[in-house]
Amino acid sequence: MRGNLSEEIVTITIEENVNQKAISLNQKSGFGNLKDNILELSIIEAFYLMEKGRLNIHNLGSDEKLEVNYIRDIIKVNNGYGKYLVYKDLKDRGYIIKAGFKYGSEFRLYERGKSPGAGHSHYLVKVIHENHEIHALDFASYVRVAHGVKKSLLLAVVDDEEDITYYQIEWTKP
């Protein structure tokens, strides 16, 4: 399947009898946003599919297929590689993952078998590097926002060896 990269969005054009798999990616696996006849994927979603051999990424208007290392470098330049590692880990575990920036987090996480429209996400996922300092007020705001929208906060800590440790944080009243 062919996707076209423009800035940090990869689009797949869906035409009759062409790229019908893109519709399935959206409806069954929760990838991207389907608008008219175009599936829009974040660069992280597209890179995941590329690594799995399910998507070829091209620069918009070019027939040249982009290399895996080129896309990885784009993600790394924008300090998103830790975010990608968490996305990949959770996706490989069978979760449906959607953007969480509306809630100040990297992702919204849906339970296995649940998808947007069929249920609500149960977690907001915040990704940090093990050497990153978190100020107490920022940490409290992450938890407060998650609690305010009836979700738990999942703190994903990525270390230098690219291992991930998850902490489930919940709001409690004293």
The whole-number pLDDT of residue 51 equals: 95
Sign for the pseudo-dihedral over CA of 51, 52, 56, 59: negative
Predicted pLDDT of residue 151: 84
CATH code, 2-75: 3.40.1170.20
Q: Which of 84, 110, 123, 142 is catalytic?
A: 110
The question of whether 142 is a catalytic residue gets the answer no
pLDDT 10s digits, 14-29: 876 666 788 888 888 8
Give me the amino acid identity at 73. Answer: D
Residues 143-164 have pLDDT tens digits of 888 887 888 889 999 999 999 9
One of 76, 120, 129, 132 is an active-site residue; which one? Answer: 120
> What value does the mean pLDDT take over residues 52-75?
91
Q: Is position 120 annotated as part of the catalytic site?
A: yes
Give the per-residue pLDDT at 84: 95
Residue 58 reports pLDDT greater than 90: yes
> Which helix or strand (DSSP H or E) is residue 3 part of?
strand 2-6
Sorted by where each begins, the domain ranges of the chain are 2-75, 80-169
Per-residue pLDDT reduced to its tens digit, 95-145: 889 888 778 788 988 877 666 766 678 889 999 998 888 888 888 888 888
21 is catalytic: no
* Confidence (pLDDT) at 80: 86
CATH number 3.40.1350.10 is the correct assignment for the domain at 80-169? yes
